[in-house]
Amino acid sequence: RGYVATWRVEKDRLVLTDIRVLCDFIASSFVFRSVMSEVFPDEKEVFAKWFTGRIFVPDGQVVDWVDQGYSSTYAKYIVLRVERGIVSRVSTMNHDEFVRFRDAQFEAYIKTEEYRRGIARGAAVPQMAGGSVSEKDKAQAREMTRDLWVERYTSVIFDDEQ
């Protein structure tokens, strides 16, 4: 994605403390530079009042490594529920609880307009010759979407119970 944002929670508030962009790759190392002062010229830190959703903080060993996006899973998670920048709940999940949660979130997500718009734009479904898509292709696209969009649909708050 080309950038790294650094956050902290202070007095139940989600605070953005830095934004670094990728500017070079030298001797097998990524080189970043801060652009925080360019994005927020008069601020050293910014209260993230625009953010509502969940943040998952991996805590423990990697259980299943996936070399794409955020699909790897871990032994435990610390889960922050954030509403307009305020941390309203902190909980924990073990690996099995997270997998069940992730799968339930994906089932809720595929019912959303956001998901349907993504599919309509061809974000997940490959177009075959003549514009038709086989059921096998649809199933593969669904799995690819589940893996690639995991950070998006797990962060969405669909109901108050989760």
Tell me the pLDDT of the chain (162 aa) as tens digits.
678 899 999 999 999 999 999 988 887 788 899 999 999 999 999 999 999 999 989 998 989 887 665 677 899 999 999 999 999 999 999 999 988 988 888 888 888 888 877 765 665 555 544 556 677 877 777 777 777 777 778 888 776 544
Interatomic CA distance for residues 70 and 108, integer angstroms: 19
Q: How far apart are CA 149 and CA 70, in angstroms?
A: 8
Place of tokens 């969009």: 149
